[in-house]
Amino acid sequence: FLCDAEKDFIVSLASMSAKERIKAIQKLPETMTKKREIRNKVLNEITKQWRHRGAEPSCWTQSVQGAGVSFRRFGNTISEYFHLLQMWHKALKIIGAEFGTSVLSYFVFLRWLLYFNIFSFLINFGFITVPQFLAAEPNNLSFTGLELLTGAGYFQQTVLYYGFYTNATISKIENGPSYNMQLAYIFTVGIYFVICFLILLFSMAKSFCRNFLNPEAYTVRASKLLCTWDFHITNEKAVKLKQKNLSTQIKEDLTEVNREVIDFSVMQRILRLAVHLLAWVACLGAAVAACTGVYFLSINNLKLFMKGHRNYLESQAAMLVLPVVASLLNTLIPFFFSWLGHLERFQTPGQHIYVTITRNIILKMSIVGILCYYWLNVVATSESQCWETLVGQDIYRLVLVDFIFCLLGSFFGEFLRRIIGTTIYVSLGLPEFDIARNVLDLIYAQTLTWIGILFSPLLPGIQMIAFFIVFSVKEVSLLRNCQPPCKVWRTAQMKTSFMFLLFCPSFLGVLSVIGVTVWRLKPSEGCGPFRGLPSMYAAVSEWIRILQSYTASKWVVWIYHNLITSELFFFILSSIVLIVTYLYWQIIQGRKTMTKLLHNQINN
Amino acid sequence: MGNKQTVFTQEQLDAYQDCTFFTRKEILRLFYRYRDLAPQLVPLDYTNKPAVTLPYELIGSMPELKDNPFRQRIAEVFSEHGDGSMTLDDFLDMFSVLSEMAPRDLKAYYAFKIYDFNNDDYICKSDLEKTVNKLTRNELTPEEVSLACEKVIYEADVDNDGKLSLEDFQHMIVRAPDFL
């Protein structure tokens, strides 16, 4: 017996498209038997509706339905195989089960960055390297194994670096289709960065929307109780830890030892402020000192390089000093920061985490910044033969040494620490996986890779291999050496913060460096696809000038002059974006007032 | 397309694919997991829809559930008779809702039912106390548990009736991005 509401529901389901109907049935909070019943009723309703439309013989409708069903089955099989393409699906499930979603978020982030590198490598290889192979010059340098570490020597004359690429228009057949290497190079790199920008922007916006929308304090305690149980965990030890942690939190909440409520006297507040200020000054001082050290070391390096090669081995070793020092600074100074963080007493553990992350990111980005300054101002204007290749080699060495330090960090930080924690100092126990430090290392490595794409097109391929190895090593190390995290970690907020850090100092910084290189710097005379031009961007302006003489491509020229290079267009675009943002903000304010009014209405 | 299997008819598989979030392969894999719990009770041929129910003890011993403090409630919510024993339909339903492909509102609905121990469609104070005890493994004293529950109701109860209805609960979930 159907009641009216159910009948209406079935009729509305029957009128939807197949995909929407399946989604609606899947989302019903009913038992499987009921769902199956509803599904069968809906299918009957659909056949009834077909018959009502009339004039169609039943075998035609049946065959159409049958075709629809088999098409859906085909689509399902395809999506099954597509799921297999998602790498490490099983490993991620195991990590999530044993350690919870906070540690899982690091590995998901690593896999996401890996996808960026795979995409970049594929398009660079396809559009830039493969055509270069057709027009390659012979390489008469010898290969010694040391090149893998230093990136110089034999590799200098290979497709690894900018300097090897030709500036010619490649064509194999006479009067056949030609391939303009200059345009290919600049457009491939440009389009890749535009796509990355859009992907990062949309992911960040989506994540921000979901996770930061309403951190109203009044539901914090209730949601802590009812919403933070991590149903992913199936490991008994992890479950016990989480329970202990939750009970400690509830006890703290009840006794209200929460530092926020305690009133400090004026004297104490000034003292705390002074301590915080001192700590910040110390951190910024350490960062500035590190940057100065790196700068002078690199200037020294350049002088040595320009003076000439004394001993081959010695000069190769000298080239490695800068990356090793940079990585050492990146590894050791954060320990200093965390020691300082323990000295100052923060009001909440959340504040502590955010301040530590901010200081670390300031350190890493300033080291990258000073290196970029050195490359763009000193190396580019030096009298070296091919400064882009030099920069590419520097970045290659930095990436490689950072990778080695990452593996070493895992070895010392987790493996040795476990050995010490279980045999010598048993009170220390097993190490925990340090999520923040590892994620910041990933962001640093990816920033270097993005900067290096212009100077060494195959660098994403190397970083891709490095990330593969890092994932496997970290996964094994995690499962064997670490224990599940004790502290509460607001995963969703952290995920958003990490994506934001990847976008804001890292990617935007990379965009500005690439922008300065393409627009302002003079490419070297003797090598690379842009030799002889006043700037890399001049290739595009040249091309537009050539296009102007063809009538068929006048629209391209029009777009270029009136949309891309015109300031008025960008002004109008920015104003529109600002107006839309303001409108949305007003809508949100209006909705907030509405919610408050409704809330009061329900209460009374 | 795909391997020939003899466990279900094609219509049954289609129905399962339409009603759960699983693909064909996953449904078959889950069937074999279900069967592994009690190979002598579960037949290999489901084409004539045998009425087989596995008792709660077998379900609760699955590695995915055995350490979950709410496993009994989960089994009770999804079981047809409300006592934790499950047919294959209930089994597939349970894992479909617990999988990562289920939307949050569906999970929130079932989470509400799981926390509602006395099945009266409201989470009252005694339900909350039982929840807190399960979450903290009886580490808190009864006074602390009672105080914590009062605070939760005070904060989350929108319509001020002293207990949490489904709407209050969903209202809270929307603001909690960490809900899994």
Contacts of A92 (CB under 8 A, 6+ apart): A104, A107, A108, A111
Residue spans of chain A under pLDDT 50? 215-218, 257-259
Residue type, A194: V
Q: Which pair of tokens denotes residue A157?
A: 């004359």
The residue-averaged pLDDT of B26-51 equals 85
Q: Are residues A252 and A387 in the same domain?
A: yes
pLDDT score for A285: 93
What pLDDT, on a 0 to 100 scale, did the predictor assign at position A175?
A: 67
Q: For A72-124, what is each residue's pLDDT tens digit?
A: 777 777 776 666 667 788 888 888 878 877 888 899 899 999 999 999 999 99
Q: Of A19, A43, A223, A257, which to mutate for an interface test with B (greatest number of B Cβ within 10 Å)?
A: A223
User: Does A23 fall in a domain?
Assistant: yes
Q: Which DSSP category does B54 fall into?
A: B
Whether A99 maps to a domain, the answer reads no
- Given a contact cutoff of 8 angstroms between Cβ atoms, the answer to whether A393 and A161 are in contact is yes
Test A214 with B174 for CB contact under 8 angstroms.
Answer: yes
Would you put residue A433 in left (φ > 0), alpha (ψ -120 to 50) or beta? beta
ipTM of the complex: 0.82
Position of tokens 């963080």?
A: A341
Q: Domains of chain B by range and CATH?
A: 10-98 (1.10.238.10), 104-175 (1.10.238.10)
Query: Are A391 and A483 members of one domain?
Result: yes
Interchain contact, B155 vs A222, CB within 8 Å: yes
pLDDT value at residue A271: 87
Q: How far apart are CA A122 and CA A458, in angstroms?
A: 9
**B89-93: Cβ within 8 A, 24+ apart:** B89/A31, B89/A32, B89/A33, B89/A36, B90/A31, B90/A32, B91/B30, B91/B34, B91/B54, B91/B59, B92/A32, B92/B16, B92/B20, B92/B22, B92/B27, B92/B30, B93/A31, B93/A32, B93/B20
Cβ of A239 and B175 within 8 Å? Answer: no
Show which of A480, A497, A529 is a domain's final residue. A529
* Last residue of one domain, picked from the residues A529, A551, A585: A529
Report residue B81's pLDDT band, with 50, 70 and 90 as the boundaries. confident
Residue A279 lies in a domain: no
Nearest of A539, A530, A541, A580 to residue A564 by alpha carbon: A541
**A179, β-bridge pairs:** A170
Of A222, A251, A490, the CB nearest to B178: A490
| Whether residue A122 is found in the same domain as residue A6 | no
Which pLDDT score, from 0 to 100, does residue B99 have?
83
Residue A130 within a domain = yes
More confident residue, A305 or B9: B9
In a shared domain, residues A136 and A7:
no
pLDDT digits (tens, 9 = 90+) for B120-177: 888 888 888 888 888 777 777 888 788 878 887 877 777 778 888 888 888 777 776 6
Regarding whether A369 and A506 lie in a shared domain, the answer is yes
- Torsion over CA: A412, A415, A418, A420 (sign): negative
Residues A370 and A455 in one domain: yes
Residue A24 and residue A131 share a domain: no
d(CA B135, CA A243): 6
A249 and A380 share one domain: yes
Q: Do B67 and A236 make contact, defined as CB atoms within 8 angstroms?
A: yes
Domain count, chain A: 2
Contacting residues of B for A235, CB less than 8 Å apart:
67
Query: Which pTM does this prediction carry?
Result: 0.82
Same domain, A411 and A508: yes
- Which residues, in sequence order, are CB contacts of A481 under 8 Å at separation 6+? A414, A415, A417, A418, A430, A431
Domain extent for A20: 1-30
Asked if residue A413 is part of any domain, the answer here is yes
Residue position matching structure tokens 């110390």: A282
CA distance A505 to chain B (A): 25
Chain A, window 225-244: residues with a beta carbon less than 8 angstroms from a chain B beta carbon = 225-236, 239-240, 243-244
Task: Please report whether residue A552 resides in a domain.
Answer: no
A234 and B110 in contact by Cβ < 8 A?
A: no
- Tell me whether A65 touches chain B (CB under 8 Å): no
DSSP run (H or E) holding A483: none
β-bridge partners, B54: B86
Residue A481 lies in a domain: yes
